[in-house]
Chain A
C-alpha cells in the first residue's frame, strides 16, 4: 500500500513519518514513536486507556486514523511533565492515590486534564461524566474524582505551592 506523509507534533516535538494510511493514531504513538505510556485495553473504543489530547480535546486514539490528525498537535501522558516539573493533575493523582495498577492512568490523566482545561470549575458530577469514557478496574474512580476536584479547587496553583 502506498505510504502517506504524516506531519504531527507530539509533546512539543515535530515528527514526519511515512505511514500506511490505515494506521491508527494509537499505533503511531506507541509503535512508531515508542511512546508506550498510552495504552490499549480493548478493540471497541470503550476503555479509554488510549486517551490523548488532540488540539485541546480528549480523543480515544484508537478511534481515529493518524492521517485524520495530520498537521495537528497531540499531547500524551509523557508530555504532561515540563522540564522535570509535574503537571498539577499528576501531582493530584499522586497525593490522592488515584492509580493502582496504572494501566488506565495515562488515559485517565488526559481525560481529566482536557476536562479541567475546558471547565476549570467542574461539579463532582461534571468530573464523573468527564471520565465516563475511561474504565478503571482498580480504584473505583472516587480517588480520581478527588484529585480532579483538588486541582479545580486551586490546591496546586503555583502561588499555593
Chain B
C-alpha cells in the first residue's frame, strides 16, 4: 500500500517540548497554595497495627494533617475489579501490614522537610507476626497466613491445556525436564511515582499524576474515595516512563487525594528513589518447571510446565502476568499437547505486577534455553528446530487464539543469514538466539468490562487543522505520534495538521490506556474509524461541490481532495473544509471511533513475531559478559513510525538485557537490599551492544493499515538470547536469572570438574 505519512521518519509530536525542557511532568507541577506530603512506611514485613498516635506530629509547626487507614473508607481495591476477592489492597491498611515499606500513615505539611520530620514523630504500635518471603516456602502448610481465606497463600491459579498431552509425551523419543528461576526487576522509571491532588469545596478532585492510564486512575480513585467518576479529573500530559508499573493505584495518588480531601488544599507527593524501589511494584519473580517431549527429528510433541510466581503482598495486575506467562510459554511454536499450571503465591515482600513483556520474558527464557539444550542433545540445528515447529500464518492455537499474519519463518531466515555472515568466532565468543512473539493488546479485561476497548474523536476545524482526542496514554513510547500518523494518513493531511489531546479525563474519551501493547492496534483502529467518519462527512460535501460522475470515488491525499481515479481533478483540502463549515452554524466536522476485537478469542486480536540474535564475549577468568551485537528480525506488520520503532527496539534490548545479566532485587528478611541506583545496576551507554533491526513486513488484517504491536514484545527475547549465547560461547546453561559473573564462573567450575 502506498502511504504518505505512515513509515516515513518524522519528529515525535512532542519532540520540541521534550528537547527544550518545556514538557511539564507531574514532578514539575506546582499549584498555588500547594502542600507537600510524605508517607510513613512499615519497618516490618508482617505485623498487626495496634495503634497509631499522631499527636506529636500534628503539634509540629507547619504540619497540616496526618491521615491513616481510619481516615479512609477502608475499601480494598485492585485492578481485577470484576473479582472481589482479588481486590485485596487497602493503600493505608486498617489492620495489617504485609511488606516492609507498606504505607501506614501520610502527612501533609508546608514543606517537604517538615513533612519528613513529622514522620519521625508518629508512634505506631505494631504486633510483629511471622513472615515468609519465598513462594516455595509460603506455599507450605506450616507457612504463616498472609491474607485470610487463601489456602497455602495461593492467590490465583491458572490452568491452560490443549491436545492430549500424556498421549503426545508417550510418542516422544526424547523428554527433557528442567527447573529455572527468574528474578524480579524494577521498572525504574526515571520519573518516580508522584501525584498532585487538588480537592475543592465543590466536591471535585483533580489529580495530576504519572500514569499509564488516566481512565483507570479516574475510576479507581472515584471508587476508593467515594466520589462520582466524573467528579475526578486525572491529568497526565507527560509521563516519565511506565513500563507496566504505573497503572495500578499507588500511594502517591491515594494519600495525596485523601489529604487533599481532608484539607481542601492541593497536596503533592513524590516518591524518593528508595520508595520507588521498596514500595512500588516489580516484575514478578518466578520458579519454572518445564518438561518437553520431542521426536528424534526435532518435532515438538508435548510440553508441560508448572510455574510458581512470587506475588508479593497483593494481587495488583499480577494475575494477568500469570495468565500471560502460561500462554506465551507455548510461543511461538506448535504443540500437539500443551499443559501449563500456574500458581501465584502471596509472600511478605513488595507486590509483583506487570512489567514490559508481562510474564513473557520469563516464559521465553525458560523455553528457548531448553530448546537449545534439546537441539544440542539430539544434534539438531538450532535454527532448523525452530523453523520446523514455528507458527505459520493462519495457524490456530487450539481453543486459544487465531493467528493471521506471522513472519516468523522469514525472521529465522534473516537471522540464519546474519549468523553465517559472522563466520568462525574466536574462543569464548558466542551467538545466542531467541524466537518470540507477543500480543497486540489483551482482549480479556477484568477491570469493569470483560473485554478491552479504545476510543477516539477526530474534529476538523474551520481552518482545516485537526484535533485528535484519544484516551490512549503516551508514556514515552510515542503513541501520540503513532496515532497522529494514522489520523493524518487516513484523513489525507500532513502530520503537522494534527494536534493530539491525551492524558486528561476531562477532555478525552475513555480508553484502557497503555498496557499489553494495545494502543497501536486498538487505539489505532479507533482513530482510523474516527478519521474515516470525519473524512466521509467532508467528502459528502466535496461531492456535492464537484458533482463528479458517480463512478468516481473521492479521496484526500496530502491535502488534495480529488477523484480517486483521476487525481489531477481536485480541490484544495483547506478550501473544501472552509466552504463545508461556512454554512454550518458554527458546527465542526466530527468523527467518533471506537474498537473492541470481535471473533478473535479472548487473548489478542493479533500477534507480533521475531527472532533475535545476540553476540557476546564471556571472560572465563571473571565470568563477565560483554554484549557485542544484537540483531533482531521483527514482524510487527506494517511499521507506522520507523524512528519510534527503532527506539522501542533498542530500549527493549537495554531493559531486557539488563534483566538477563544485571538487574535483580535481592530481598533479605523482607528487606530490599539494593534500593538505589548505585546498587541496582541498569545498563549504561558503554554497556549497550550495537543494534540492528531487520523489519519483516507483513500485513495484519485486524490492525490499522496492517500494523500490530511493536514495543513490548521486543522485551521478550533478550534474556533468552543471552542465556543461549552463554551456552554457545562457553557451553554452560545458566538456569537462573540474572546471569551474573558468579553464576557463570560456578557453572564453568562445575563443568571442569565433570
A76 surroundings in chain B (CB, below 8 A): 21
Is B15 part of the binding interface, using a Cβ–Cβ cutoff of 8 Å? yes
Instruction: In the complex, identify which listed stretch (B541-549, B594-602, B610-618, B646-654) lies at the interface while the others stay far away.
Output: B646-654
> Chain B contacts of A8 at CB under 8 A?
none
CA distance A139 to B645 in the complex (A): 11
Q: Interface with B: A53-61, A66-74, A95-103, A150-158, which one?
A: A95-103
Contact B21 A135 (CB under 8 A): no
- 675-728 of chain B: CB within 8 A of chain A: 676-678, 682-686, 688, 690-691
On whether the beta carbons of A47 and B643 are closer than 8 Å, the reply is no
Q: Are B686 and A128 in contact (CB under 8 A)?
A: yes
Our pick among A41, A81, A141 for the contact of B190 (Cβ within 8 Å) is: A41
- In the complex, what distance in Å separates the CA atom of A99 from the CA atom of B243? 15
- B644→A46 contact, CB < 8 A: no
Q: Given known contacts A100-B476, A135-B682, A139-B647, is B19 in contact with A128 (CB within 8 Å)? A: no
Question: Do A143 and B240 touch (CB < 8 A)?
Answer: no
Q: How far is the CB of B690 from chain A (nearest CB, A)?
A: 8
Question: What is the number of residues of chain B that contact chain A, defined by CB distance less than 8 Å?
Answer: 58
Answer whether A94 and B11 are a contact pair too, CB < 8 Å, given A41-B192, A42-B677: yes
Whether B654 contacts A141 by the Cβ 8 Å rule is yes
Q: Are B685 and A96 in contact (CB under 8 A)?
A: no
Contact bitstring A134-152, B, C-beta under 8 A = 1, else 0:
1111111111110000000
Contact with A along B270-290 (1 / 0, CB 8 A): 001110000000000000000
From known contacts A39-B191, A139-B650, infer whether A102 and B14 are also in contact, taking CB-CB under 8 Å. yes
CB contacts (< 8 Å) of B240 on chain A: these are 39, 101-103
A97-B191 Cα distance, complex, nearest whole Å: 19
Specify which of A37, A47, A134 is in contact with B21 (CB 8 Å cutoff). Answer: A37
**Which residues of B, 427-477, contact A by the 8 Å Cβ criterion?**
475-477
Q: Mark A38-51, 1 if CB is under 8 A from B, else 0.
A: 11111110110100
What A residues does B685 contact at CB under 8 A? 127-129, 131-132, 134, 141, 144-145
Question: What is the CB-to-nearest-CB distance from B440 to chain A, in angstroms, rounded to a whole number?
Answer: 20
Query: Which A residues touch B686, using CB under 8 A?
Result: 125, 128-129, 132
> Once the chains bind, are B20 and A77 in contact (CB under 8 Å)?
yes
* Residue B189 at the chain A interface, CB threshold 8 Å: yes
Instruction: Decide: A46 and B19 in contact? CB cutoff 8 A.
Output: no
Asked if A121 lies at the interface with its beta carbon under 8 angstroms from chain B, I say: no
Given A49-B190, A140-B650, A141-B654, decide whether A78 and B20 contact each other with a Cβ distance below 8 A. yes
Q: How far is the CB of A146 from chain B (nearest CB, A)?
A: 10
Instruction: Name the residue of chain A whose CB is nearest to the CB of B189.
Output: A137
Interface of A is mostly: loop
Task: Please state if A138 and B21 are interface contacts (CB–CB under 8 Å).
Answer: no
Q: Decide if A97 touches B647 in the complex (CB within 8 Å).
A: yes
Residue in B11, B21, B242, B644 whose CB lies within 8 Å of A106: B21
Give Cα A143 to B646, complex, Å.
8
Do A46 and B190 have beta carbons less than 8 Å apart?
no
Task: For B683, list chain A residues within 8 Å (CB).
Answer: 140-141
Q: How far is the CA of A77 from the CA of B191 in the complex (A)?
A: 17
**Interface of chain B residues 1 through 60 with chain A (CB within 8 A):** 9, 11-12, 14-25, 27-28
Interface centre among B12, B18, B686 (most CB of A within 10 A): B18
Size of A's binding interface in residues, CB under 8 A: 53
Chain B nearest Cβ from A60, distance in angstroms: 12
State the CA gap A27–B691 with chains docked (Å).
Answer: 38
Tell me the minimal C-beta distance from B669 to chain A in angstroms: 23
> Is A9 an interface position by the 8 A CB rule?
no
Q: Which residues of B contact A103 (CB under 8 A)?
A: 25, 27, 189-191, 240-241, 476
Indicate whether A35 reaches chain B with its CB closer than 8 angstroms.
yes
Contact between A135 and B477, CB atoms less than 8 A apart = no
Question: Do the beta carbons of B191 and A41 come within 8 Å of each other?
Answer: yes
CB pair B478 A100 closer than 8 Å: yes
Task: Tell me the bound Cα distance from A78 to B28 in angstroms.
Answer: 14
A41 to B27 alpha-carbon distance, docked (Å): 10
Query: Is B239 interfacial (CB-CB < 8 Å)?
Result: yes
- Our pick among B22, B189, B654 for the contact of A37 (Cβ within 8 Å) is B22
Question: Which A residues touch B15, using CB under 8 A?
Answer: 93-94, 99
Could you say which residues of chain B place their CB within 8 Å of the CB of A144? 685
* B24 partner residues in chain A, CB cutoff 8 A: 36
Does A100 lie within 8 Å of B21, measured CB to CB?
A: no
Q: Does B234 contact A (CB under 8 A)?
A: no
B-contact 0/1 string along A85-122, CB 8 Å cutoff: 01000100111110111111110010000000000000
Q: Does B21 contact A35, Cβ atoms closer than 8 Å?
A: yes
Q: How far is the CA of A97 from the CA of B243 in the complex (A)?
A: 19
Q: Which residues of B contact A35 (CB under 8 A)?
A: 21
User: What residues of A have a CB within 8 angstroms of the CB of B477 in the complex?
Assistant: 100
Asked if B21 and A77 sit within 8 Å, CB to CB, the answer is yes
Cβ of B188 within 8 Å of any chain A Cβ, yes or no, is yes
Smallest distance from the beta carbon of B656 to chain A beta carbons, Å? 10
**Binary CB contact string for chain B from 236 to 256 against chain A (1 if under 8 A, 0 otherwise):** 001111110000000000000
CA distance A81 to B28 in the complex (A): 20
Residues from chain A with Cβ under 8 Å of B241 in the complex? 100-101, 103, 137-138
Give CA–CA (A99, B16) in the complex, Å. Answer: 11
Report if B523 contacts A (CB, 8 A). Answer: no
Q: Are B647 and A100 in contact (CB under 8 A)?
A: yes
A140 touches B653 (CB 8 A): yes
Q: Is B739 an interface residue (CB 8 A)?
A: no
What residue of chain A has the Cβ atom nearest to residue B644's Cβ? Answer: A97
How far in angstroms is the closest Cβ of chain A from B645?
9
Contact B243 A137 (CB under 8 A): yes
* Chain A min CB distance to B188 (Å): 6
CB-CB < 8 A to A26: which residues of B? Answer: none
A93 in contact with B677 given A42-B273, A101-B240, A129-B686 (CB within 8 Å): no
- In this assembly, does B655 line the interface, its C-beta being within 8 Å of a C-beta of chain A? yes
B697 vs chain A, min Cβ distance (A):
20
Bound CA span A136–B654, Å: 9
**Are the C-beta atoms of A142 and B21 separated by less than 8 Å?**
no
Contact A102 B688 (CB under 8 A): no
Q: Within the complex, what minimum Cβ distance (angstroms) separates B383 from chain A?
A: 26
Given A43-B274, A100-B478, A106-B21, also A140-B654 (CB < 8 A): yes
A80 at the interface (CB under 8 A from B): yes
B18 in contact with A99 (CB, 8 Å): yes
Residues of B within 8 A of A47 (CB): 190, 273, 677
Q: Which of B187, B475, B651, B682 contacts A139 (CB 8 A)?
A: B651
B274: chain A residues within 8 A (beta carbon): 43
Interface pair A99/B19, CB less than 8 Å apart: yes
Q: Which chain A residue shows the least CB distance to B191?
A: A103
Residue among A44, A95, A101 with the most chain B CB within 10 A? A101
Pick from B12, B14, B652: contact of A140, CB under 8 Å: B652
Q: Which residues of A are found within 8 Å of B647, using beta-carbon distances?
A: 97, 100, 138-140, 143
Given known pairs A100-B477, A102-B476, the reply for A46 and B11 (CB within 8 Å) is no
Q: Beta-carbon contacts of B177-194 to A below 8 Å, as 1s and 0s?
A: 000000000011111100
In the bound complex, CA of A159 to CA of B690 (Å): 31
- Nearest Cβ on chain A to B655's Cβ, whole angstroms: 7
Interface centre among B20, B475, B676 (most CB of A within 10 A): B20
In Å, the complex CA distance between A63 and B47 comes to 38
Residues of A within 8 A of B272 (CB): 43
Q: Which of B192, B475, B649, B676 contacts A101 (CB 8 A)?
A: B475
In the complex, the chain A residue whose C-beta lies closest to that of B28 is A36
CB distance B20 to A81 under 8 Å?
yes
Closest residue on chain A to residue B475 by CB atoms? A101
Given contacts A99-B15, A103-B190, A128-B685, whether A90 and B677 have CB atoms under 8 Å apart is no
**Additional A-B contact list (9), CB under 8 Å, known A78-B20, A127-B685:** A43-B272, A47-B677, A86-B19, A90-B19, A90-B20, A93-B15, A128-B688, A136-B654, A140-B691
* A contact residues vs B (CB 8 Å cutoff): 30, 35-44, 46-47, 49, 76-78, 80-81, 86, 90, 93-97, 99-106, 109, 125, 127-129, 131-132, 134-145
Q: Can you give 7 A-B contacts (C-beta < 8 A)?
A: A35-B21, A36-B28, A41-B191, A78-B22, A94-B19, A105-B19, A140-B688
The 3 closest A-B pairs by CB, nearest first: A37-B21, A101-B476, A103-B240
